[in-house]
Amino acid sequence: MRHDMLSSLLDHALQQQRLRPLDVAFARFLIEREPNIAPALAWLAAVLSRQLADGHLCLDLAGLDALADEQDWPDDWRALADTLRDDPPASSLLAAGDGGEPASAPLVLDGGRLYLRRYWNHERQVAKGILDRVARAEPPSPYLAEELARLFPTAAGDTLDWPRIACALAARSGFGVITGGPGTGKTTTVVRLLGLLQTLQWRAQAPALRIRLAAPTGKAAARLNASISAQLARLDVDDAVRATVPAEVATLHRLLGARPDTRRFRHDRTNPLPLDVLVIDEASMIDLDMMAAVLDALPASARLILLGDKDQLASVEAGAVLGDLCRRADGGHYGATTARWIATTSGDDIGDFVQADAQPLDQHIAMLRVSHRFSAASGIGRLAQDVNMGDAAATLVLLGAPCDDLAWLPAADVGTLQALVIHGTAAPGGACGYRHYLDTLHSCRPATDAGDDAHADWATSALQAFNRFQLLCALRHGPHGVDKLNQLVAEALHAQGLIDASSGWYEGRPVMVTRNDYALGLMNGDIGLCLRLPVAGGGSRLAVAFLAAAAGGGTRLRLVAPSRLPEVETAYALTVHKSQGSEFEHAALVLPAAMNPVLTRELLYTGITRARRWFSLLGSEAIIVDAVARRTRRHSGLAERLAQDGGDRDDPAHLAG
């Protein structure tokens, strides 16, 4: 194929929206760098760029035929793919993965996977950073078994105490992962773990560990902050130890010292974070770039602990770090040495989870398997399980059966949707809609002269009431996307006289910050509520109220003038992605009328598990079946790199003997 023909093919792909302008520009950049580049390689680079936008770290050349079928490639694309069946053509712009040479090449071919150099570097960096910590031998404290017994007083029996096992595994090494579904006790477990670590330091007469807590978004940070604060009061440790366990949670961007308008951070290998232990919650949201930045900024001696639900949606950006780490978590894959050590240390028999193919990384991952939020009779819990198992038939049976905490509206029209978001459902107990927070806003408003504290309490109550219900959707655009649904909800509430949406800013408008604003201390994903507050001397002003994490734990109210918030959007409806890290008493998920690649099992599961007490699903049977059957796939070489090791696969030096 000549370059003029390739240019025409790229233009056509752009018109059909198979490629983005950025993808085409990248291919043409390579042609400018190397005029004699093989057209097939330039085209392949454009496809790789497009795959990155879909969250993939690389392009699997062995899977081009499957990708062609999945995306219904045109014949001219398939013909180019056929020319690459063995290997991409040689080029100075393509480096070999064994050494990455030439270093100036923007593309790297490694093990049949084609990368942009940046992502190839990050993948190797992340794998090395984790494996170095996995391999680090740290003699366990002689007080470990005793302190585990104090923190987990229930004797081992037929039911394994997975939180106790998780604490034992995490306490013995520089790296640990605690994964589990909603209500399995991840936060409770990590608070006990931190109390355990500090107690072991105290008993060894060593200095208290410098511990930091972080989460990917401001919303997730605030929720973890509140949970940690509540758990600390009940932690069975010495008061002096409790005082050394922090409750304040920062976003990862703030922790690392993000620099505006750049990918770089203040903390890196030349200026590492001053800490001994870093705990990151909602780790499923962390993309490869961010994980590389975290590991780059961590001191070599620091312990890293990741918390998250491996079955949730992967990060918005490229990569699925937690998913790659936890691919084998369901089966445990512990080694015999680890099992013996656990039996001695915690009294738990994990023999059923011992596998002959145990790998070093497996010994550092614990999966919490019992939900304390959802009982065996819970419709939400059973629905999440059925969806996660890919059982479409069981999913439909459950949705069609009478259930106090589930509502399925398979053919919801606009009127039905409006009634749901305003009033909630007719389920026993009264699953609320948006009327609830507006009633709170209007009925609980203090007198004009009541004082700042009274108005702050009112603003906090209104925000908390708003957070009881959330409308979720899969897409941003289209009749069932964020944009249209936000408009529909605002119109419905306005028609009911609950808000005055005749202007852009109005009391009761919920907004979501869409870009980090370090001057204001607001992060992408933070949600606030526009309120009318009195001013000295009479009159009133509009201000947007946010609940932010407070130093020392808990939350504090922050008021910001709307004029200082240029980059926000109305937040009656959120994408499921944006809702990660949040929970609501009642969550309602609207599915589109036509199938979309975004609709996957993971998206449906994540939407369901945002609900604590009630869940409403609006979508047809056919769409639900398709979504349950479709799994998210993120092409990456990270799991393979993490599986590489040399030596005894489950016998770390500190466990020997």
Among candidate residues 418, 463, 469, the one with its CA nearest the CA of residue 440: 463
The model's pLDDT over 110-141, given as tens digits with 9 standing for 90+, comes to 988 999 999 999 999 999 999 999 988 778 88
Question: Who has greater pLDDT, 220 or 465?
Answer: 465
Helix and strand totals (H; E) in the chain: 25, 20
Full 3-state SS string of 317-381: CCCCHHHHHCCCCCCCCECHHHHHHHHHHCCCCCHHHECCCCCHHHHHEEEECCCCCCCCCCHHH
Q: In this predicted model, what pLDDT tens digit does every residue of 391-433 receive, in sequence order? A: 999 999 999 988 888 999 887 778 888 888 898 875 555 678 8
Is residue 646 pLDDT above 50, yes or no? no
Q: What is the mean pLDDT of residues 41-68?
A: 91
Quick check: 648 pLDDT over 50?
A: no
- pLDDT for 609 beyond 60: yes
Helical residues (DSSP H) of 233-320, grouped into ranges: 239-242, 252-256, 288-297
Q: Where are the beta strands (DSSP E) in 524-583?
A: 527-534, 540-549, 555-560, 568-570, 573-575
Q: Using CA atoms, how far apart are residues 621 and 267, in angstroms rounded to an integer?
A: 49
Task: Please determine, for residue 363, whether its predicted confidence score (pLDDT) is greater than 90.
Answer: yes
Q: Which residues, other chains included, contact 654 with Cβ-Cβ below 8 Å and sequence gap of 6+? A: 137, 138, 139, 140, 172, 173
Average of pLDDT values for 615-643?
Answer: 91
Q: Give the closest residue to 189 by CA, choosing from 281, 84, 89, 266.
A: 281
CA distance 406 to 402: 8
**Dist CA 476 CA 491 (whole Å):** 18
Q: Which candidate, 338, 242, 325, places its Cα nearest to that of 280?
A: 325
**Is residue 345 very low, low, confident or very high in pLDDT (cuts 50, 70, 90)?**
very high
Among 38, 84, 36, 39, which Cα is nearest to 59's? Answer: 84
Tokens 């145990």: give the residue: 358
DSSP 35-82: TT--HHHHHHHHHHHHHHHTT-SSEEGGGHHHHHHHHT--HHHHHHHH
> Please, are residues 607 and 587 in contact by the beta-carbon 8 Å criterion?
yes
- pLDDT value at position 657? 33
Element (H, E) at 118: helix 117-135
Place of tokens 């392009």: 59
Residue 493 has φ and ψ, to the nearest 5°, of: -70, -35
Who wins on pLDDT, 144 or 85?
A: 144
The pLDDT score that the predictor gives to residue 525 is: 81
158: helix, strand or coil: coil
Q: How many CB atoms lie within 10 A of CB 175?
A: 23
Q: Distance between CA 407 and CA 425 in Å, rounded? A: 8
470: part of which helix (H) or strand (E)?
A: strand 469-473
pTM of the model: 0.89
Q: Render pLDDT for 140-171 as a digit per residue (tens, 0 to 9).
A: 889 999 999 999 987 655 678 999 999 999 99
Q: What is d(CA 318, CA 54) in angstroms, rounded to the nearest whole number?
A: 7
The pair of structure tokens assigned to 222 is: 């605030």
- Using CA atoms, how far apart are residues 265 and 267, in angstroms rounded to an integer? 5
How many of the other CB atoms lie within 10 Å of CB of 551?
9
Greatest pairwise CA separation for the chain in angstroms: 78
Copy the structure tokens of residue 321.
Answer: 């770090």
Cis omega before residue 102 (within 30°)?
A: yes
Sheet containing strand 107-110, edge to edge, reads 59-60, 113-116, 107-110, 94-96
288 with 264: CB under 8 angstroms? no
- Region 244-248: mean pLDDT is 87
Q: Which of 260, 332, 255 is nearest to 286 (CA)?
A: 255
Q: Is the pLDDT of residue 330 over 70?
A: yes
* Amino acid at site 163: P
